[in-house]
Amino acid sequence: MTYFESLTAAMTWLGEQPDTLFIGQSVRYPGNAIFKTLSGVPMEKRIEFPVAENMQLGCSIGLAMQGKTVISIFPRMDFLMCAMDMLVNHLDKNIYPLKGKVIIRTCIGATKPMYPGVQHCGDYGNGLKRLLDNVAVRYLNYTSGVYETYVANFLSYGSKVLIEEADLYGME
């Protein structure tokens, strides 16, 4: 199974779980490669957000307080940086009683077939690991085990940041 197929299978499996919601940019309307991995997720589980990353993560936390498992999608890790207040000062500090969890799905932007510029392919994962005490950060920079990693993170306790690599989407 390719990296892209594994991601699609994982999103389909997550979409079958009764308490999941997918929120972010290009979750209901095409606009990036992540959108195509959601093909097996029912539309009623997708909430499209504008370019308002801090608000998106704040809403994700609110939904998790109500028992939802929210897959909060930031198509580029650079965009996740706009939600650092919610990530570092709210989600990571565990100041809200979450009955569910937030799985942040983000991606290091592709540099092939062309370089998109510094604001679309940043990798801040190691910095996040140093900043966050209670939210785990995991790289998905391998082909095998992507599906299993998403399932395991859904089944385990706590919120996570899962970092994909767009350059792997079509390279198999």
Mean pLDDT computed over 36-52: 97
Q: What is the pLDDT of residues 58-76, one digit of tens each?
A: 999 999 999 999 999 999 9
For the chain, give every domain's residue range: 3-168
Q: What is the pLDDT of residues 72-115, one digit of tens each?
A: 999 999 999 999 999 999 999 988 889 999 999 999 988 777 77
Contacts for 11 with CB less than 8 Å, ≥ 6 apart: 22, 37, 38, 40, 41, 71, 150
Residue among 165, 59, 62 at smallest CA distance from 105: 165
Q: Which CATH architecture has domain 3-168?
A: 3-Layer(aba) Sandwich (3.40)
Q: Share the mean pLDDT of the chain.
A: 93
Contacts for 84 with CB less than 8 Å, ≥ 6 apart: none
pTM of this prediction? 0.95
Q: Are 82 and 53 in contact (CB under 8 A)?
A: yes
